[in-house]
Structure 1
Amino acid sequence: MSEIFIIAEAGVNHNGDIKLAKKLIDAAKNAGADAVKFQTFKAECLVSKVAQKADYQKQATKTGESQQEMLKKLELSFSDFKDIKNYCEEKEILFLSTPFDFDSIDFLESLGMPIYKVPSGEITNLPYLIKIASTGKPVIMSTGMSDLDEVGLAIKVLRDYGAGKITLLHCNTQYPTPFEDANLKAMLTLKERFGFAVGYSDHTLGVEVSLAAIALGAKVIEKHFTLDKSMEGPDHMASLDPQELKVMVTSIRNIEVALGDGIKRVSKSENPNKEVARKSIVAKRGIVKGEIFTEDNLTVKRPGNGISPVKWFEVLGTTAARDFSEDELIEL
């Protein structure tokens, strides 16, 4: 990827309402994200009836319901997703969605999904990985809750079964992620160990960790966002609001430009400052024609449009060809 790919993660923050989903698309487009990503699943295929919610989900939602009951309320139909994809095309933002079951993979494939995002929870799900890989599409894989051996096995499965280009996202799946657990340097370990482009799926509060990931070389950033953090639902509280998302995207684009190409050179903007900020060899006092230049009658001062002091020892010992007044630029 020649540019940093920013995924605005809508996830399930539409609360099962396609109207809210479209508003999230509008917000992602307005922020300047490259893609807006949802989650496609059938609750009964994703979790069992007895599966409990994560602690963060319990804190953000009604504690009496099961995980399946919670997710059932957050489902969008396949028909809804067709509408959402069409709306994304109208708004000229890439539609992505993470599938969580085989039926959803088949459905998204029928929509022409260009890239598959593998979530952290599926990294040990070999049948799922085989199904994703068999599409031949590029894969962006989050690596939360995993170690290097598990990541390596998932990569082997993806490659063995025909996946396209693989990008690895460092990730911590706690919502929100404590700063001390972000461990951004692990992103560099993934790059060094496996040789793939890397990025960061950010569940920390705020935007600074995503920006730090860019400075460390992330090529993909994924960040949850919502229309309103106070809405009921598992992910709203740990998400950015639309204005924060826009700030993050703008900041990433600025950093992207600021990183440059790595070649140390005089930039176009600073070139005029060389004459102002650098120095030249000048007369420390009045000098008469024929006098020998020495450390007693020469000094170095701004501006830098005369003989550079880098030639100091070339000037010392030569003879003044004319008179020089104090502070006058020396000429040979």
Structure 2
Amino acid sequence: MATKITGTGSYIPITIERNEDFHKHEFLNQDGSSIKQQNDVIIEKFKAITGIGERRYVENHLNTSDIAFFAAQKAIENSQVNQEELDYIIVGHNYGDVKHNTEQSDTVPSIASRVKHLLGIKNPKCVAYDILFGCPGWNEGVIQANAFIKAGIAKKCLVIGAETLSRVVDKHDRDSMIYSDGAGAAIIEETSETGGIIAHQSATYALDEAHFIYFGETNNPAITDQRRYIKMYGRKIYEFALNNVPPAMKSCLDKSGYNIGDLKKILIHQANEKMDEAIVQRFYKLYNMDMPKDIMPMTINKLGNSSVATVPTLYDLILNGKLDGHTINKGDLIMFASVGAGMNINAIVYKC
């Protein structure tokens, strides 16, 4: 028996926010002081570092629970599972439903309960709950679903990663250009096939690293409302990721019993193009190898960083032939990997 992904779905918002749309923003330093450089220079450097040329934002009438529902519908249809037979609905997110032009996040009921309601599932034994695990939330939800299935208490689970980061960005912070919105979902089932989830690895670094990503005030001292925004210490995160993610990936692969040469694709959280590339390069260096060409598919240039949604969205796009130059075939060995607020890290070795 194996725990496998039997269906996927994603929702990519239709509103495109391009880099040039930020030219009129008043970017400020964290202390509120003016940044000496002109916006066109700031944006050019941003593109060179992150690889992001545009990102997607949800329409004003949509919330995180809505787009999570859209992705879930597609995954259920793709898998042809009877939704009334789902044992768990697990939703990874970080900020709940933040309605357009509001200052407060709404997390009661949970996003998972809202998705179950929108799907119209009647079965009360279908347990719905949220997981707050930073950007690796979808990966961790898959790990939990696998644990439920291996323990014999579940056979079918729906795992979703959804976020509307456009609702929690500070327009006076250069980092606001990184974030985007999106949702991805997968049906995780017990099957009689071989392969599936082979190994996984998770870790939380919270002694010195807990607040590398946090909720903070706007960079504009003239704004006195109580609203808080997603903030981060970019350099600290970059160094943390490069030092800790490659060893975690290696530990996961070694645990799987497969060789580094068996990997066909690494689907890593779309956080920062340069950072992701450096992580995967260091991972291969641990095996005294160079990073193979086309091992690391990327969507960040067009879709930005949608947190928990990046990995499942990337996987769904590749499976559906919507990412040029990349395919995943039955029997391929792949790795999911992520890093984010917490600071949390995880990796999964999966045989399709």
Q: Which has the higher contact order (CA 8 A, sep 6+)?
A: 2
Bigger radius of gyration among the two: 1
The structure where strand makes up a greater share of residues is 2
Calculate the TM-score normalised by the size of structure 1.
0.24
The structure where helix makes up a greater share of residues is 1
